[in-house]
Homo-oligomer: A and B are copies of this chain.
Amino acid sequence: MRGSFARQRFMATLGATLERVTPGEIAIAFTHRGELTQQHGFLHAGVTTSVADSACGYAALSLMEPGAGVLSVEFKVNMLAPAVGERFLATGRVVRSGRTLTVCAGEVTAERDGQTVAILLMQATMMAVRGKPEVAD
């Protein structure tokens, strides 16, 4: 899994690193960077969503059979608070693991002024792919 994460070049572009890997739950850390902001100077919702998506995907993959790959079928996010902070943590957790489809819950928290604030909530569907990677089918 760490190998797969290392090949997600977009996570490197976001400065995101695997923080915790346990079966069914993954945490990915990232920090504020000016090049990831939207018009108000907060992190763009797409940034926090992207890392939450990867956290959910790897949480799903952690419970799949060896050799399987994972693809995002769909996800939904609610922004709970502005993405303001020094450091962020995206957590993905498997809610239901199936042979083909896995349902995950994701959350992103921000650390600001020594406090931890929930800023994003995700509900996602992931799909196991076998053999050559292709889109959810």
A59 within 8 A of B: no
**Chain A binding surface, main DSSP class:** mixed
A115 within 8 A of B: no
Chain A 92-129 interface residues, beta-carbon cutoff 8 Å to B: 95-96, 98-101, 103, 105, 118, 121, 123, 125, 127
A38 within 8 A of B: yes
How many identical chains are in the complex? 4
A49 within 8 A of B: yes
By the criterion of a CB under 8 Å from any partner CB, how many residues of chain A are at the interface? 57
CA distance A135 to B82 in the complex (A): 5
Chain A 7-21 interface residues, beta-carbon cutoff 8 Å to B: 7-13
Is A105 touching B82 in the complex (CB atoms < 8 A)?
A: no
In the complex where A46-B46, A123-B78, A136-B79 touch, is A37 in contact with B9 (Cβ < 8 A)? Answer: yes
Instruction: Give chain B residues whose Cβ lies under 8 Å from the Cβ of A118.
Output: 95-96
Is B95 touching A80 in the complex (CB atoms < 8 A)?
A: yes
CA distance A48 to B76 in the complex (A): 14
CA distance A77 to B56 in the complex (A): 15
Q: Interface on A for B, CB 8 Å cutoff? A: 4-5, 7-13, 34-40, 43-47, 49-51, 53-54, 69, 71-82, 95-96, 98-101, 103, 105, 118, 121, 123, 125, 127, 133-137
